[in-house]
Amino acid sequence: MANRRMNELLPRMQLQDDLADVFGNLVDDVLGTRGFAATYPGVNVWEDGDNAYVEAELPDVTMNDIEVDVMGDQVTIRGQRKIPDPPQGGTYRRRERPEGAFSRMLQLPWEINPDQVEAKLQDGILTVRLPKSESAKPRKIPVQPS
């Protein structure tokens, strides 16, 4: 298994391999491992001129569990992921999925227009569109003849 950085979201790993997971471990070694980033959730950020987009992987979370705040040039994504208790008579044999509170703050190179921020959550992917504020957009300055 890959080394995974300890943080509060580290799942309660149960290292008792009740399901003989020999094959599983082999696969882990051969294939790309997607361990935890130092922070959760991992984010990707890109821009298309007038907007920046922040995307985060938040599977099995609802919009009610997520909060997106914008202030100045900063955007904060925070929330809570709950892993339900096993159903009656069931026991967790393996716990890898992270659980608990998370928060990511990102600073963009320019001011955000907070009134037109849009966030959507689909298939466990949070996408936030962050339009540049008017003052941050490039402006053409007419040159007056003297």
Contact in structure between 2 and 33 (CB atoms under 8 Å): yes
Number of residues in contact with other proteins under rule CB under 8 A = 49
> Is residue 49 a contact residue for other proteins (CB under 8 A)?
no
Structure tokens at 55: 């995307």
Contact in structure between 101 and 75 (CB atoms under 8 Å): no
Rounded to the nearest whole angstrom, what is the least distance from the CB of residue 141 to other proteins in the complex? 26
- Interface residue with other proteins among 60, 67, 69, 118 (CB under 8 A) is 60
Nearer to other proteins, 9 or 113 (CB): 9
- Interface residue with other proteins among 7, 9, 10, 43 (CB under 8 A) is 43
Cβ neighbours around 75 below 10 Å, total: 24
Roughly how many angstroms between the first and final C-alpha of the chain, as a whole number? 71
Binding part of the chain for other proteins, among 22-30, 71-79, 112-120, 134-142 by CB under 8 A, reads 22-30
Nearer to other proteins, 91 or 146 (CB): 91
Phi, psi (degrees; rounded to nearest 5) at 69: -120, 140
Structure tokens at 102: 């998370």
Binding part of the chain for other proteins, among 67-75, 111-119, 123-131, 134-142 by CB under 8 A, reads 123-131
